[in-house]
Amino acid sequence: MSMSVTKKLSPLHILIILFFVFITITLLYLPKHESNKKPIVQVSIIDTSLSVDITPYFQKDKDIESLLKDYQQKKINPDSLIQFFNAKKLPHIAAYFEEIKNLQSDIDTIWFNIGKNYYSTLGFISDPVIAEQLIASAARCFNKALSLNDKNKDAKIMLASCYVQTNNPMLGVKMLREIEKTDSNNVLLQMQLAEFSLRSNQLDRAIQRYQKALQLDSNRTEIYAYLSEIYMQKKDTLQSIYFIRKFAAHISDTALKNSIYHYIETLNKNNH
């Protein structure tokens, strides 16, 4: 299996990641942007029976091993594990136990959210084996949501997005375009299509889709950061600063906000 090339993170990327950690684990809808990023999973058909392998984590960390034993002996419940792994900054393992916790659930939105949690961690994973497990797990959950409610359009969008991550991306893109024919004002759809425009280096198209998503829902704070990053790629520093300011204006964490303003000052100095 080939491994995708990971670019060095820019200061703005770091700020965005800090923001996403801050709101963890309400988690992201999207992974981080890399416009020339290759497909993560080199398979044409997603094997949705594949699951996250938690064994290596238990073998490397005595605290985790002890916690697992307590769980196996029913001394603690899945909620304790979910909280623990979120605190350990291992949200994909937290998602695994979230799925275990809800195996008997017949509520489609629960399965959609678990799938979204799996999918959202992809931007922070460089190991292609783990990435494949995450995409398979996400697709399994989105499929489950659709089996419970075939009108869950967001689950269809995210299932298509899973296929875009493979070496058969046009299958997913075709699914997304079919949805767009009847529901072009779906915010999640526009955000996912923007993400995939970036993958093919269609920066202007990505900007258009993100702008449309903001028109539909101005509370999608992360879009301001994404637009700032795109304009930085276009070497339009003024527009990049404009959107990173709007991003800062929408967050409440003082330390992060100050870091962003410091970053803006650096950009302004370098721009003169």
User: With contact defined as beta carbons under 8 Å apart, do 117 and 98 qualify?
Assistant: yes
pTM of the predicted structure, to 2 decimals: 0.76
- Give domain status of residue 269, yes or no: no
CA nearest neighbour of 257 among 234, 217, 225: 225
- Give domain status of residue 43, yes or no: yes
Cα distances (Å, whole numbers) of residue 162 to 4, 14, 88, 109, 124: 16, 25, 26, 18, 16
- Give domain status of residue 221, yes or no: no
- Give domain status of residue 237, yes or no: no
- Give domain status of residue 212, yes or no: no
What is the per-residue pLDDT for 16?
Answer: 53
- Give the structural domain span for 46: 39-171
How many independent structural domains does the chain possess? 1
What is the per-residue pLDDT for 207?
Answer: 97
* Rounded CA separation 93/209 (Å): 32
CA nearest neighbour of 170 among 196, 146, 192: 196
What is the per-residue pLDDT for 32?
Answer: 40
User: With contact defined as beta carbons under 8 Å apart, do 222 and 22 qualify?
Assistant: no
- Give domain status of residue 54, yes or no: yes
What is the per-residue pLDDT for 267?
Answer: 83
Rounded to the nearest 10°, the torsion over CA 7, 141, 213, 120 is -30
Q: Name the residue type at position 108.
A: D
The two three-digit tokens of residue 68, written as one number: 């697992």
Per-residue pLDDT of the chain (272 residues; tens, 9 = 90+): 333 333 444 555 545 544 444 433 233 333 344 434 444 455 557 888 889 988 887 777 888 888 888 888 888 989 999 999 999 888 999 999 999 999 999 999 999 999 999 999 987 888 888 999 999 999 999 999 999 999 999 999 999 999 988 877 888 888 999 999 999 999 999 999 998 888 889 999 999 999 999 999 998 999 999 999 999 999 999 999 999 999 999 888 888 888 888 888 888 877 76
* Rounded CA separation 222/16 (Å): 8
Burial 44-68 (b: 16+ CB within 10 A, else e): eebebebebebeebbeeeeebeebb
The two three-digit tokens of residue 38, written as one number: 């290759």
CATH of the domain at 53: 1.25.40.10
- Give domain status of residue 105, yes or no: yes
Residues 6+ apart with CB under 8 A from 11: 263, 266
What is the per-residue pLDDT for 15?
Answer: 53
Residues 6+ apart with CB under 8 A from 17: 9, 32, 124
Cα distances (Å, whole numbers) of residue 3 to 6, 11, 118, 129, 134: 9, 24, 19, 9, 15
Q: Work out the end-to-end distance of the chain between its first and last CA atoms, rounded to an integer number of angstroms.
A: 46
What is the per-residue pLDDT for 5?
Answer: 32
Cα distances (Å, whole numbers) of residue 235 to 105, 191, 248, 261: 48, 22, 20, 19
User: With contact defined as beta carbons under 8 Å apart, do 173 and 199 qualify?
Assistant: no
3-class SS of residue 272? coil
- Give domain status of residue 158, yes or no: yes
* Rounded CA separation 269/267 (Å): 5
What is the per-residue pLDDT for 173?
Answer: 86
What is the per-residue pLDDT for 123?
Answer: 79
